[in-house]
Amino acid sequence: MNMQWNLEQLRLFVSVAEQRSFSAVAREQRKAQSAVSSSIALLEEDLGISLFDRSSGRQPKLTEAGAALLEEAREVLRQCERLNGRALAMMRGQEARIRLAQDEAMPFQPIIDSLDALADQFPSLEVQLSNGTQGDVARKLLERRADLGLLFYHDQIPEALERRVLGSIEMVTVCGVGHPLAALDEVNCQQLAQHRQLLMAAQSSVYPGSEPASPQVWRADSFYVIAELLMRGLGWAWLPRNVVQYSGYQRQMVELVSEWTPPALVVELVWRRDEPLGPAARWLAERFAVHLQAIG
């Protein structure tokens, strides 16, 4: 079979499948609806199968074959973005600047150690650092206000971003030294539920352990704010080990032996697929991996 389909037809196929509307895609692409329908029809003719069942109502519905090929089409488009990005990186050579956005709860020492080594390896490189929540980091990458992002894994990372696992950070159950739970050798879920829990704000968090284990909950949008509340005896919390080990909190918290603790936070490096990493960014990524695995 002589395949004549093109990438534009694949993009339209994916868009119509996701939006379930030929007219919406036509408006978005500033094309006539007939042009979108014709492109899809030509794609179906080249593939020899029907991708959409047009008799099922006003909204186009994927056929069984169309549903099977949708992810294949997405992967072809992702590969094209990677190819274009790699070519762009080769054309540019070493980057002059790296803008790094990171989750504010990232462990401090591995990041600084990595940046210290980066300064020796690439002395003329300009570095810009910014901190924020998971959503802030992804948003800066999508808006091209950052080149690299460090965040904790979650399944809502936008499709346009590539990701690489670098390491993990253990979550621990903690309370202030004066809290009633601090006197117990081991705590179970029933005992935790009797005291106020300090949690990350639900609307901004997809961290492991975002669901409450107590009927009494206070929320904040920062692990460090939670730590400050915790040291005032206002509740117990699940915190990343690096936050608990922060020098300013020493001897003010007690790590509890608990029957359940959320899974570790998985640290990921993320970047735009169409803006791949240059030599300095790739080198920095390897440093991050080495230092983060050392503490994991």
**Best CA proximity match to 211, nearest among 222, 200, 225:** 200
Residue 95 has pLDDT above 90, yes or no: no
Instruction: Report d(CA 283, CA 137) in Å as an integer.
Output: 20
Task: Clarify whether residues 180 and 247 are in a common domain.
Answer: yes
pLDDT (0 to 100) of residue 61: 86
Residue 274 pLDDT level (bands cut at 50, 70, 90): confident
Task: Decide if 206 is inside a domain.
Answer: yes
pLDDT (0 to 100) of residue 57: 66
Residue 2 pLDDT level (bands cut at 50, 70, 90): low
Task: Clarify whether residues 101 and 118 are in a common domain.
Answer: yes
Cβ within 8 Å of residue 203, ≥6 positions away: none
Residue 281 has pLDDT above 70, yes or no: yes
Mean pLDDT of 244-263: 90
Residue type (1 letter), 48: G
Share of the chain above pLDDT 70, in %: 92
Q: How many residues does the chain have?
A: 296
- Final residue before a domain boundary, out of 90, 114, 142: 90
Task: Clarify whether residues 252 and 283 are in a common domain.
Answer: no
| Residue 86, domain CATH | 1.10.10.10
Asked which of 14-23, 87-96, 158-167, 260-269 is least confident by mean pLDDT, the reply is 87-96
pLDDT (0 to 100) of residue 182: 94
Mean pLDDT of 236-244: 93
Task: Decide if 1 is inside a domain.
Answer: no
Mean pLDDT of 48-71: 84
Instruction: Report d(CA 78, CA 24) in Å as an integer.
Output: 23
Task: Decide if 263 is inside a domain.
Answer: no
Question: Measured in Å, how far apart are the chain's first and last C-alpha atoms?
Answer: 52
* Structural contact between residues 52 and 62, judged by C-beta atoms closer than 8 angstroms: yes
Mean pLDDT of 210-215: 85
Task: Decide if 41 is inside a domain.
Answer: yes
Task: Clarify whether residues 149 and 191 are in a common domain.
Answer: no
pLDDT (0 to 100) of residue 102: 94
Mean pLDDT of 229-233: 95
Higher pLDDT, 93 or 247: 247
**Best CA proximity match to 161, nearest among 72, 275, 270:** 270
Task: Clarify whether residues 155 and 274 are in a common domain.
Answer: yes
The distance from CA 45 to its chain's CA centroid, rounded to whole angstroms, is 38
Looking at the structure of the chain, the number of domains it has is 3
| Residue 214, domain CATH | 3.40.190.290
pLDDT (0 to 100) of residue 119: 92
| Residue 142, domain CATH | 3.40.190.10
- Final residue before a domain boundary, out of 37, 72, 90: 90
Share of the chain above pLDDT 90, in %: 34
Mean pLDDT of 232-245: 93
Residue 93 has pLDDT above 80, yes or no: no
Q: Record the tokens describing residue 156, joined without a space.
A: 């809502």
Instruction: Report d(CA 200, CA 265) in Å as an integer.
Output: 14
pLDDT (0 to 100) of residue 233: 94
Q: Residue 159: is it exposed, middle or buried by C-beta count within 10 angstroms (0-12/13-18/19+)? A: exposed
Task: Decide if 166 is inside a domain.
Answer: no
Task: Decide if 2 is inside a domain.
Answer: no
Task: Clarify whether residues 189 and 153 are in a common domain.
Answer: no
Task: Clarify whether residues 143 and 289 are in a common domain.
Answer: yes
Task: Clarify whether residues 120 and 153 are in a common domain.
Answer: yes
Task: Clarify whether residues 209 and 175 are in a common domain.
Answer: yes
pLDDT (0 to 100) of residue 202: 60
pLDDT (0 to 100) of residue 88: 65
Residue 254 has pLDDT above 90, yes or no: yes
- Give the structural domain span for 140: 96-161+269-295
**Best CA proximity match to 134, nearest among 57, 45, 223:** 223
Higher pLDDT, 240 or 55: 240
